[in-house]
A and B are shown apart, each in its own frame.
Chain A
């Protein structure tokens, strides 16, 4: 009995030892982000529509952003600070592409690649489109590189979004970029028709 117990313990120990080596990687490869990256297109699901030959209007815009989760934390005064510049996500700064010229807040925005920031507030958010791309967070933000700033109202949401979400919705003038997190819903109008 004693012997059996020892063998059991020994084999378990050796087994888990081997197992932990099996998990290790030879190269120092990058791990997975806690706030995973995602992308959204206008028209929504454009890549899927494209391979199904169901595209009815050309691609206009794409956002690439990272998706922090609430994880039980309060959004206001916790994850977001009113009046303080936010990278609209996590990790790398959020990127917005326009594949044709658009109009945002009565200002023409030429087609191209931009960085998108926001200054959240209780009743309204300031959305900022900036020329400095491929940056991290909002740490080297330079107001001089702004292309347009637009104030948009904050609306409530019936459902709670656990992960920060960005998506597009069709409008008469073009589309809205929707920002959803917790019970906050903000829409930035983009005109191109």
Chain B
């Protein structure tokens, strides 16, 4: 009987929380579920599959696929290679990642950004080449750093190799992204490098001649 009563109150509480959650969302966002988590393969002793899988993104968006179509393909501008940690119910910013501390923008190897032409970021010229990209997140802004110490693991970023630091604002979404995600979105003057995880989204604006 006691068990029954507490179960009843538990359900009431759930119902209450759920109701208030649902009511606060006036415009429901479309449901989008990530593809299943890739589990590591213990049978593979040669090189185990990473828990946080690697991925790459190009600008122009989907450049390799665009190229395959054989149409007028615009010039290649940028490519990011990064790993994609999984939220798994954790609080990410201000939790797993401490504010004010360096974060590799991914997992495992340092995140790599390559520019195939000269670009501008916040009025600073960045020469073509391969760089490491990392950030220092805080509650209201991120400092995104271009560093020249390429081919390194993402736990050490010698400051003498920093090339530029850029401050960008933080946007809070009312929905959460499960896997850390980077992608490019076209803009009038070039493209934004969009970085999003959990409920946080940031944009690093890149300018270049199209």
Residues of A whose CB lies within 8 Å of any CB of B are 4, 7-8, 10-12, 14-15, 17-18, 20-34, 36-41, 46-48, 50-51, 59, 62, 64, 67, 69, 92-93, 134-137, 139-140, 159-163, 165-167, 178, 180
Chain B residues with CB under 8 Å of A62's CB are: 151
* A39-B109, A50-B152, A59-B151 known; A34+B181 contact, CB < 8 A: no
Judge whether A15 and B18 touch: CB under 8 Å.
yes
Known contacts A47-B109, A64-B81; is-contact A34 B44 (Cβ 8 Å): no
User: Does residue B47 face the partner (Cβ distance < 8 Å to A)?
Assistant: yes
B12: A residues at CB distance < 8 A: 7, 11
Q: Is the CB of B54 within 8 A of A38?
A: yes
- Is B166 an interface residue, CB under 8 A from the partner? no
B residues near A21, Cβ cutoff 8 Å:
21-22, 25, 28-29, 31, 175
Distance in Å from the Cβ of B70 to the closest Cβ of chain A? 7
Q: Which residues of chain B have C-beta atoms less than 8 A from A51's C-beta?
A: 152-153, 155-156
Indicate whether B72 reaches chain A with its CB closer than 8 angstroms: no
Contact assessment for B56 and A165 in the assembled complex, using a CB-CB cutoff below 8 Å: no
| A162 to B43 alpha-carbon distance, docked (Å) | 7
19 A-B pairs, CB-CB below 8 angstroms? A10-B15, A11-B11, A11-B12, A11-B15, A14-B14, A14-B15, A18-B21, A27-B201, A29-B181, A31-B35, A32-B84, A36-B53, A37-B55, A38-B50, A39-B81, A134-B58, A140-B67, A162-B43, A178-B46
A26: which of B15, B29, B56, B63 is its contact (CB, 8 Å)?
B29
From B11, B19, B47, B68, give the contact of A139 (CB < 8 A).
B68
Bound CA–CA A162/B174 (angstroms): 39
Contact (Cβ within 8 A) B181 A30: yes
- Report how far A159 CA is from B146 CA in the complex, Å: 42
Beyond the given A25-B178, A47-B153, A165-B44, could you list 9 further A-B residue pairs with CB under 8 A, ordered by the A residue number? A11-B12, A15-B14, A24-B30, A25-B175, A26-B29, A39-B109, A50-B153, A67-B49, A167-B47
CA distance A92 to B37 in the complex (A): 20
Contact A25 B44 (CB under 8 A): no
- Inter-chain CA distance A167–B48, complex, in Å, is 11
CB-nearest residue of chain B relative to A17? B22
Nearest B residue to A161 via CB reads: B44
Residues of B within 8 A of A26 (CB): 29, 173-175, 201
